Structure 1
Amino acid sequence: MKYIAKVTRHSTDYDFVVATDKYYNADLAKTVYNYIPEGFKKVGEVHNSDMICQVEFRKDTENYYYLDFSVLNGDSASGLSVDTENSELYELTINNEEAIMNLKDGYCTLIWSQRNVLCQLYGRIDSEKAVRIAENMEIVFLDE
């Protein structure tokens, strides 16, 4: 997955595109979460289509995170805007894929991909737990 970043004074806008000739169909409803931090529970899941999904996990009102998934193909792209003003920005690797992490005021945003699925985790969660969630999540691909 390739991206173009446009940095402004208050935020960074990312445009993501697939950098592959092979596109995979995913069944986002069958995603396996092999690590959920202690005390957190899945409380909601919304599918806007077969290609877009949002899942919510909560421990309480102060501790929560969301996972957003977008299946991209050669005809689609996805854009995200992240508040990066006065934040810590890191580039890292998740399961051999480039990832971006933004930390600001106790809020964590982690963006990475699995094949041609763009994944975003965001919320009030520890950065180490966010990485562990991402590393231990399995999207079910139908083309295998």
Structure 2
Amino acid sequence: MTGISSTRISLRDGDWPDPPASPESAPFVAAAREGRFLLRRCTACGKAHWYPRSLCPFCLGETAWEEASGNGTIYSYTVLAREDPARTIAYVTLAEGPTMLTSLVECDPRALAIGQPVRLVFARSRDGTPVPCFRPVEADEAPGSEPPS
């Protein structure tokens, strides 16, 4: 998928913390720097999973990278209102099946709902590493369409 937007989000400490670098996550980070979102899918049982790892968590089979749509729905969320600024974290079920823990950004927490469609945006950590977050899909965005630039 191309056209996934990037965003800069102010957190209490000024920026997102840097994710730990590892050889296993390098393809994910490289793709994210190009605006693409990758998942791993098992070559034996066919199930996609998050977080990416080389062995399938369901059957221990080998896995391969695949490009994901960046679309999902809110499974559950909470607002960390005591933080300054407040932050919203959520479980988002991806269109490909896995559910991931993430942050919801560019939204009014009072307008969120379970089952609401969301789309991936990349925030940037202190060192510029893309961090996958999600924002609500606007009413005028057709499902499967590219996000506005």
- Larger Rg computed on CA atoms: 2
- Normalization by structure 2: what TM-score? 0.28
Between Structure 1 and Structure 2, the one with more strand by share is: 1
